[in-house]
Structure 1
């Protein structure tokens, strides 16, 4: 069920959609969690952070332990979260480069000295 909820609805097969809907019909708490999750994902993908206060209010009123505590955490750093949900800027390329360098460092750990690691990072 977690896989069905976390994937984009367009990637689900008809059988998966039917099974997912049957399960959501049996459990209202899970249906509420699915609705809140999909609305938050929509805010992320469309960069519509102006809807964040409404989402936080709705999720805290739902009294779902995981989602409610997540919403309270978002509210504690509201300005930063709103900026992250409304601007196009992200640090993805930088994080990718750092991750690549750390992977190379782990591969070379204990095998060679710093000049060889430096050369490998520059040539990779």
Structure 2
């Protein structure tokens, strides 16, 4: 069904190709040159959503390139924040801060 849709709609084919290239750049942590070419292709393309996304990447270019080229990331910190947020949501309206503090510290 996807092949048939892509055959009949050239914009969909272009968007699938661009999205697949971007996913490959992220997964394989490819260099800056491929990302620059991708953003140029996305901004030149006919899809306003991908043009806007590429423009947003250009606005935060230093952070985007650091995320693709440096070996450090904030994954562990985000995991802890996610866990604490889940605990807060579970305890909302049930207990005060002292019990939440105990639960966060004991869960570590």
Superposition TM-score, scaled by structure 2 size: 0.90
Structure 1 CA distance for aligned equivalents of residues 47 and 31 of structure 2: 22
1:48 paired residue number: 30
RMSD of the TM alignment (CA)? 1.2
- C-alpha distance in 1 between matches for 2:56 and 2:98: 44
Aligned residue-pair number: 106
Aligned match of 1:119: 102
User: Which residue in 2 is equivalent to 1:37?
Assistant: 19
Structure 1: which 5+ runs fail to align?
1-18
Query: What is the 5 A alignment of 1:1-124?
Result: 19-50=1-32, 51-124=34-107
Deviates more, 1:37-46 or 1:99-108: 99-108
Residue-by-residue CA offset, 1:29-61 (whole Å, 9 max, x unaligned): 000000000000000001113211111111111
Q: Residue 7 of structure 2 contacts residue 13 of structure 2 at CA under 8 Å; is this kept in 1?
A: yes
For normalisation by structure 1, the TM-score amounts to: 0.79
- Segments ≥4 residues shifted beyond 4 Å: none
Contact persistence 2:6–2:12 (CA under 8 A): yes
